[in-house]
Amino acid sequence: MTNSSSQMDFRVDAPPLRLPVPIPLDRPLGTLGLLMTLRRNPLEAWTREHFEQPIVIQKHLLGHIAVVSDPDGIRRVLLDNAANYEKDTLQRRILSSGLSGGLLTAEGDQWKMQRRTLAPLFSRRAVDAFAPAMVAGARAMVERWRQRPDGAVIDISAEMARVTLDVLVRTIFSEGLGGDPEVLRNAMRVYFDTIGLIDPFDVLGFPDYIPRFTRLRVRSTLAIFDRAVESIIATRRRRLAEDPERVPRDILGLLLEAQDPETGRGMSEAEVRANIITFIAAGHETTSNALTWSTYLLSLSGEWRAAVEAEAASELDGPMEGIADRMTTTRAVLDEAVRLYPPLVAMSRQAIGADVLVGKPIEAGMMVVIAPYVLHRQPRLWDAPDVFDPNRFLPGQRDAIDRYSYLPFGAGPRVCIGQAFAQQEATIVLGEIIRNFTLELPTGHVVTPMQRLTLRPENGLPMIVRRRR
């Protein structure tokens, strides 16, 4: 099954696996069809041309949209000429409410200041220090599954959402949520489920004072969350003033102490709150879906499952420092899962001034879309793009991948700040699952990828979970 004479030529020989994806359309949808598809499952709106061409410019409801799938063109948008491309208004509307004022939606000087201030929270050292909280979250999940009868059907999607939220809560608020944690968890679930819905009013550019039916429940749940966070911050500030030595070094503590290295300015109360909500919003469903897809893919491949199991058995009881770099097989599976099913299907930007991308003129105001889902399946850039083959991400082989052909975490100045956090967490959680359980899809269950805020299996992912002896 495997040959591993040295790490450089380690590979797993497994039969090719073809996976469920919507079949690309032959031609673009009309206005009504597009609106309905965006509401139901935007993944079904891509055409064959998108998967084959380096750039596709089409006229839509919002004007001209350029979808760029060429590594040089993408590098220009995200890095070389990044100042000319800001996050577009549609994206900001969809993310809106609780997230405004946080790193994800900020622009210009406000974004620069926040990024400088927040960088140390997600440094390698900081992320290493979060490993015990990640292990504790993963082991609590393992315990929960052990309480269930052997062979029970468990919705892995819901469980991954639960464990990733648990890890965020443990790393942000290491002393717990206070009050009634279930009420708060519920409020968070409703809030983060709802902000992902694409409202037709947003697509049509209706002004913000017209209520969005998709979001009516959001305001009240956000208020519950806001009040709870406010009270946690107040308690923590009091304790910081009384005895700074004994205050835990969780994300909340780091946020309250964070200072802009250029100006020495700390974060306002509103900025601390907005960024807590931002980290949960940006880090919860994304990591949860990366794990869900990885678990699904491993359930289909006995060879890769065995390789991950062997690695987990040899690494997960040892020191946690640099664990995500040492567990190269598990990482390769995760990297391949987010190639095939990138949690963020697309990133969008609006051109401030005119530019030229892949030889085509881009006018000021035009929307430019970079879609990892489409980019990662381009036959020009990938061998057998629709096949699950983590070998391509093993040490020695991954160097052949162009930086701008593979963008699950974005690139350039706005690259995901939580990448190392997510990779470490996902490696630990996936390793713990695989070394403790075997998972099998119930006969007849069809997995359909569906895009909300992130890419997830429609109707969850039921799996038969058996304890390993």
Burial zone of 104 (CB within 10 Å; 0-12 exposed, 13-18 middle, 19+ buried): buried
252 vs 417, beta carbon nearer ligand HEM? 417
3-state DSSP assignment of residue 446: coil
Q: If we measure between CA atoms, which residue out of 170, 188, 258, 281 comes closest to residue 228?
A: 188
For tokens 């760029």, what's the residue? 68
The answer to whether 367 contacts ligand HEM (rule: CB under 6 A) is no
Are 167 and 355 in contact by the 8 Å Cβ rule? The answer is no
* C-alpha of 243 from chain center: 36
- Determine, following the binding rule CB under 6 A, whether residue 414 of this chain makes contact with ligand HEM: yes
User: CA nearest 53: which of 442, 401, 379?
Assistant: 379
| Binders in 290-319 for ligand HEM, by CB under 6 A | 290
In the complex, least distance from residue 150 CB atom to ligand HEM, rounded to whole angstroms: 30
**Roughly what angle, to the nearest 10 degrees, separates helices 131-146 and 156-172?**
140
- Does residue 191 bind ligand HEM (CB under 6 A)? no
Using rule CB under 6 A, residue 276 touches ligand HEM? no
At residue 28, what are phi and psi to the nearest 5 degrees?
Answer: -65, 155
Is residue 463 classed as helix, strand or coil in its secondary structure? strand
Assess 417 for contact with ligand HEM (CB under 6 A).
yes
Among 286, 294, 301, 405, binds ligand HEM (CB under 6 A): 286
Single out the segment in contact with ligand HEM by CB under 6 A; choices: 61-69, 92-100, 266-274, 413-421. 413-421
The secondary structure of residue 317, as a DSSP letter, is T
**Of the candidate residues 233, 344, 371, 381, the single one contacting ligand HEM (CB under 6 A):** 344
Q: Single out the segment in contact with ligand HEM by CB under 6 A; choices: 10-18, 41-49, 282-290, 437-445.
A: 282-290
By CB under 6 A, tell whether 139 contacts ligand HEM: no
Using rule CB under 6 A, residue 343 touches ligand HEM: yes
Name the residue among 300, 277, 319 with its Cα closest to residue 169.
277
Residue 264 DSSP SS3: coil
Dist CA 458 CA 72 (whole Å): 34
Q: Which of 104, 177, 276, 357 touches ligand HEM by CB under 6 A?
A: 104
Strand partners, 47: 25
Which of 73, 390, 408, 449 is in the footprint of ligand HEM by CB under 6 A?
A: 408
Point out the residue whose Cβ comes nearest to ligand HEM: 418
Tell me the per-residue interface mask from 21 to 60 with ligand HEM, x by CB under 6 A, - otherwise. Answer: ----------------------------------------
If one asks whether residue 337 binds ligand HEM (CB under 6 A), the answer comes out as: no
Q: Under the rule (CB under 6 A), what is the footprint of ligand HEM?
A: 103-104, 115, 278-279, 282-283, 286-287, 290, 338, 343-344, 347, 408-410, 414, 416-418, 421-422
